Structure 1
């Protein structure tokens, strides 16, 4: 399990691996507060992304956490919160 915080670069890499990118969407831009649906990612893409995050970081992401995290900033926060808990346990 990686010891560094989960970053936008990590999320972008995993999103691209899991679901690619919709034409015209620049994930390298200012997307932290853009909703996933506006970025072209629907629930199935986010579920696959969540599964990949779980495997890579050794955490469990509840489906509700994924659906409640509407933006990259929110999902990054959830992942980092879970990583903090798992490191102190």
Structure 2
């Protein structure tokens, strides 16, 4: 299985964002250490993001990650640790 990257996460975040706020969300530059809240993502958008990641990458993620992986960089790390070839 391929590695889950920040680019993968940005693509999925864009797909899962509420269309009303999508144009206000800035996902360019180095967002790895910015918290999701400052990027404009609420818990519902993140739950949708996790579900999308689970289906696309074949991983099982705890929804507690929404509260513990506060930044994109942390979420990328958690997903990579959960990938089947890393389990």
TM-score, normalising length: structure 2? 0.88
How far apart are 1:7 and its partner, in Å? 0.6
Q: Which residue in the other structure is 2:56 paired with?
A: 56
Deviations 1:26-69 (A, max 9, x none): 21211100000000001000000000000001111101123210
Q: Which runs of 4+ in 1 moved over 4 A?
A: none
What is the alpha-carbon root mean square deviation over aligned residues?
Answer: 1.4
Is residue 2:11 matched to residue 1:28?
Answer: no
Q: Which residue in the other structure is 1:6 paired with?
A: 4
CA distance in 1, matches of 2:49, 2:81: 17
TM-score, normalising length: structure 1? 0.86
Is residue 2:54 matched to residue 1:41?
Answer: no
Kindly indicate whether the alpha-carbon contact (under 8 Å) linking 1:22 and 1:40 is maintained by their aligned counterparts in 2. no
Is residue 2:69 matched to residue 1:80?
Answer: no
Unaligned runs of 5+ in 2: none
